[in-house]
Structure 1
Amino acid sequence: MFTVYSYSIAGLLLISFTVFVQNIVAAVAHRKQSRYIPGKVSDELSHDSFVFRSHRTFHNSLENVHQFTLPALFCIFLGASTTVLAALIWVYAMCRIIHMALYYAVATEKNPSPRSYFYMIGVLCTVGVFGLAVFNLFV
């Protein structure tokens, strides 16, 4: 049954791997600080610090990834359209990678920042996956 969802599963693996990479990047950046305290990012840091940006990128993903992946998994168990689900997952995965790259590269406190647009596309994909799950639950 799950082989028909191989594109969706591959996309979910990419999303999980992206969060894993963000964790490593944040940990390495954090430990390179001259005043390193395990588990604590200085409150004095802001967007001009890569330590802050890598930490926020990782935590932003932690705050959002389960909201997307759980309903995506429900879609698989509910037998949702493989094409629609795969498209939503891959668009979300690409948006999270672009969001990450922009957060790493662009030190701005301006809102909306360039990364905000990709965050919002990800939010729309999350709404789409919830909608797909609910639709397949009642159909």
Structure 2
Amino acid sequence: MDTIHLAAAPGTTWALAPQDAEDHLRARFPDLRAWQEQAPASGKDYVTFQVDLEGASRRGSYFERGHLILDDGDADLWADTVTWFLGLLPADARAIAMIESNPDSVRTIAPGADAAQVREILRSLFDVE
């Protein structure tokens, strides 16, 4: 288990507001618990959420302009959610991914990547020693 960070590729941003992200998350996860917040240091708005997946409560956050954080999981748990989330963005949106335990290993997720491709990219992050 680790924390997956999905971010807009360097030099780009995502035009998805935290409230819009929350609305989409609620549609995907009807039992979602979510809170709109503001980061004290940066002033950025974000949504924090909890959802029950595979019998456990999982957490995540989405920060305005392009940063999704998914806690308490692995590539297999979060790959479908990452693919779904990227589908909310414009077709040419570029993304990068990393895991918290190894921030030096960063992978690009190509626009239009399907769930199997996203799963393999995320697994490669977990396989790095």
Answer yes or no: same fold by TM over 0.5: no
Shorter-chain-normalised TM-score: which range? under 0.3
TM-score normalised by L of structure 1: 0.24
User: Considering only CA atoms, is the larger Rg found in Structure 1 or Structure 2?
Assistant: 1
Quick check: which one's helix share is greater? 1
